[in-house]
Amino acid sequence: PIGTFRKFLTLRGEGDDNLQSMLVGTVMRKIKSRSWKKQRYFKLQEDCTTIWYKSKKAGNTHSTCKTTRLTDFSVSDVEAIREGHQSEVLLSIADEFPADRCFTLVFRGRRGNLDLVAESVEEAQSWIRGMKKLIENLENMGEREKLDQWIGDLFKKADKNKDGRMNFKEVRDLLKMMNVDMNEHHAHRLFTMADKSQSGTLEDDEFVLFYKMLTQREDLLKVFQDYSADGQKLSQSDLEDFLKEEQLEEDDFQQKAKQLIEHYEPSDTAKLLNAMTFDGFLMYLGSSEGSIFNPRRRGVFQDMSQPLCHYFISSSHNTYLMEDQLRGQSSVEGYIRALNRGCRCVEVDCWDGANGEPIVYHGHTFTSKILFKDVVSAVGKYAFKVSEYPVILSIENHCSIEQQRVMAQHLNHILGDKLLKTTLDGKVGLPSPEDLKGKILLKAKKIGGLEESFNGMVEDSLTGEASDEDEKTKQHLSKELSDCVVYCKSVHFSSFKHSRIHSKFYEVTSFTESKARKHLRDAAAEFVHHNSRQLTRVYPSGFRTDSSNFNPQEMWNAGCQIVALNFQTAGEGMDMNDGLFSQNGHCGYVLKPVFMREAAKRFDPEMPQNQDGYQPVILTIQVISGQQLPKVNIKEDSIVDPLVRVEIHGVPIDQAKQETRYIENNGFNPVWYDTLRFTVHTPELAMVRFVVEDYDKTSKNDFVGQYTLPLSCMQQGYRHIHLLSKDGTTIPPSSLFVHIRITKLDKPSSLS
């Protein structure tokens, strides 16, 4: 029932002093800068899922009245709490407020942090511990409880007069909020059926009943009844048939069916009969086991002991920028956010700063500046919070010899043992992510090669020369900084032929997206071969001053490992990146397909059918229905006209997109039953992106939600797709319900 979560939390709250103190409310200072520090009243709402804070704004000079402005946010929007001076803003006022009264709320997606100072250490601790408790409770919620919470939030919004019951007018407004366009007669009939007490209003359980009638899943009921012998329940043997014939589960079906009943069946009576009711079936298909993403591929499942160049590596471009490339703010927060998203290669543009301290910013632009040492501190602190595998610091060095020495001092002093300074014992060639766990590698120019460094041949000179990556100019380097570079020496690229004969395994080349595209056009197979032996970095064109991204897929098709994107910019590029790296434990490393790792294979993304072991597949997706799609237009009476587009991203011949028809005025439970079919020639590289849009015949469709994943991570059968926002954050309980089939295609002698 709807109140379960709240009652559970309120009960918890009753015995929890921290939550009690949050429910009473606290005055704290909200800090935006050294000069902007204002008092606000913060209070946890009774639902224990929303926090609001208010400020008093003075009226005009002739008026004595003050207006109160209320702002609120949901606990589920908060990703983490940082204690003490752990943001640039709080560090800037460290001399004024002690660390034990300061904390930062970090929000999901790309929303700015909330920096707070409490009046006392006790109050700060109350909020820190209380928020952690609330977040932990939310993380432990199942799909059903999340749905209850969503219904409760809607109830609260629609209950305009706050009397805890809902009259028919409030219910009609609620339906609009929920994206439901229902004729008044039908809505009134459901309302009357649910109003058991005949009071003309719906209270707790009556509202739940109304919601259940509203959300009856006919699409799922049909599947359930197809497999149920008596139409009432699935016996264990019925469920085994479903798992075998529809879901194509590879496990022991008997064991799997038992486990699903045990885990998802709410009725104890059904459990005793080893059976699953429709409610249990709903719970199973709404869970992670019923989702499109294969749970076996969630954790680290790949071989992590191959050379670094055999992996795609999650990588960020101009990591310090929070906005555009010309005037945007530079911030240490950019590094923290990227690393917390599993990024394993971050970029640092270094320039001479005042007082002998190197600074980081986008040179020759109006972007703000931050200290190099602050960046190194943040990287040292956050590098291994979400992944233990190595982080590469890609340095663009514009500093004088003197400040390069300061850079080397900071790297050594701040990172200590985390900084890789010597080659690994007994290793010939590039080490693996496994070998380099917990290590930070510097990618930069270097005097001489690894061989000279460790044979003592550069010992006497304090400075040396190195060629620039992009031009053939010489740059003076300090020996101290050069010595910090081991396995990632930045070099200029001449040609694939030159590299094949002369290049060393530890040399890394960098290309702009346009240069990389030219190499792909002129010599795709050579490019793949080059990347089977050494690392390549590709970064966005300098013309992308708005920090937009290219689609990384075309670079992955060539086996480029370090495809650097603007992490601060939401959209297709980052959806693809998040999708590829959502597998393998979100660790930031994904093993390339075998035909891209073995130099002898000569894979050509332009001609995949010539590949040894070439096995095309047919991907059939039946888009069945959608559930509780978010509103995109804030106008109260506008309702979504949803359509679903499925995009295949992969080698050029696999690039394709198809759409369902649009359903008029129904974002709540649209039903399509539209079937889309794709031929995929290189499934190992294919990514599948589901995009839901609000159809508009006069202008561009509005984005509603998306979900992107590798084809190799898809589960077959009846599956739910839990949609993500433009920012890549979850938007429960929005989902699509689909049926997936992947079948091998008889190999044609040539491609049509």
Decide which of 185, 215, 245 is a domain's last residue.
Answer: 215
Output the six-digit token pair for 251.
Answer: 């496990």
Are residues 235 and 201 both part of a single domain? no
**CATH number of the domain enclosing 400:** 3.20.20.190
- Any domain includes 585: yes
**CATH number of the domain enclosing 17:** 2.30.29.30
Q: What is the pLDDT of residues 597-615, one digit of tens each?
A: 987 878 999 999 998 889 9
Residue 389 annotated as lining a ligand binding site:
no
Are residues 80 and 196 both part of a single domain? no
Are residues 129 and 151 both part of a single domain? no
Residue 15 is predicted with a pLDDT of 62
Are residues 231 and 361 both part of a single domain? no
Cis preceding-peptide flag for 98 (omega within 30 of 0): no
Residue 56 annotated as lining a ligand binding site:
yes
Residue 349 annotated as lining a ligand binding site:
yes
Are residues 344 and 390 both part of a single domain? yes
Are residues 286 and 260 both part of a single domain? yes
Secondary structure class of 748 (helix, strand, coil)? coil
**CATH number of the domain enclosing 241:** 1.10.238.10
Residue 156 annotated as lining a ligand binding site:
no
Are residues 173 and 258 both part of a single domain? no
Mean predicted lDDT score pLDDT of the chain: 90
Are residues 372 and 394 both part of a single domain? yes
Residue 160 annotated as lining a ligand binding site:
no
Residue 155 annotated as lining a ligand binding site:
no
Q: What is the pLDDT of residues 8-61, one digit of tens each?
A: 444 445 568 899 999 999 999 999 999 999 999 999 988 788 899 987 554 444
Are residues 571 and 652 both part of a single domain? no
61: which residues sit within 8 A by CB, 6+ positions away?
none
From CA 450, how far away is CA 463, in angstroms rounded?
16
Residue 537 annotated as lining a ligand binding site:
yes
From CA 537, how far away is CA 447, in angstroms rounded?
20
Residue 510 annotated as lining a ligand binding site:
yes
Residue 188 falls in the annotated catalytic set: no
Positive or negative: CA dihedral 127, 129, 130, 135: positive
| CA-based nearest residue to 371, from 338, 403, 337, 323 | 403
- 322 within 8 A of 328, measured Cβ to Cβ: yes
Residue 7 is predicted with a pLDDT of 45
Output the six-digit token pair for 334.
Answer: 């950019």
**CATH number of the domain enclosing 725:** 2.60.40.150
Residue 214 is predicted with a pLDDT of 81
- Any domain includes 538: yes
Output the six-digit token pair for 4.
Answer: 């379960």
Residue 665 annotated as lining a ligand binding site:
yes
Residue 373 annotated as lining a ligand binding site:
no
Are residues 556 and 569 both part of a single domain? yes
Catalytic residue among 85, 310, 317, 720: 317
- Any domain includes 358: yes
Residue 454 is predicted with a pLDDT of 56
- Per-block mean pLDDT, blocks of 10 residues, the chain (752 long): 43 70 94 94 88 68 54 89 94 94 93 95 96 89 72 77 86 82 83 92 84 87 96 96 94 92 93 95 93 96 98 96 84 95 97 97 87 97 97 97 98 98 88 98 94 56 55 78 96 94 95 97 96 97 92 98 96 97 98 92 92 94 94 76 97 98 92 98 98 93 96 98 93 93 79 44
Catalytic residue among 362, 649, 681, 722: 362
Backbone angles phi, psi at 393, to 5 degrees: -95, 110
- Any domain includes 101: yes
Residue 495 annotated as lining a ligand binding site:
no
Q: What is the pLDDT of residues 471-498, one digit of tens each?
A: 475 678 999 999 999 999 999 999 999 9
What's the number of domains the chain is made of?
Answer: 5
| HSE-up of residue 43 (Cα within 13 Å, Cβ side) | 12
- 576 within 8 A of 709, measured Cβ to Cβ: no
**Pairing status of strand 391-397 against strand 440-444:** parallel
Output the six-digit token pair for 11.
Answer: 């009960």
Output the six-digit token pair for 735.
Answer: 């989902």
303: which residues sit within 8 A by CB, 6+ positions away?
591
**Residue corresponding to tokens 């209070």:** 43
Decide which of 199, 215, 231 is a domain's last residue.
Answer: 215
Print the domain residue range for 381. Answer: 308-453+484-596
- Any domain includes 607: no
Decide which of 226, 261, 290 is a domain's last residue.
Answer: 290
| CA-based nearest residue to 26, from 137, 114, 122 | 122
Residue 478 is predicted with a pLDDT of 95
> Which pTM value belongs to this model?
0.88
Residue 317 falls in the annotated catalytic set: yes
- Any domain includes 458: no
Q: What is the pLDDT of residues 613-661, one digit of tens each?
A: 899 999 999 999 999 898 887 666 678 999 999 999 999 999 999 999 9
Are residues 561 and 423 both part of a single domain? yes
Q: Is 302 exposed, middle or buried, given 0-12, 13-18 or 19+ CB atoms closer than 10 A?
A: middle
Are residues 550 and 433 both part of a single domain? yes
- Any domain includes 473: no
- Any domain includes 608: no
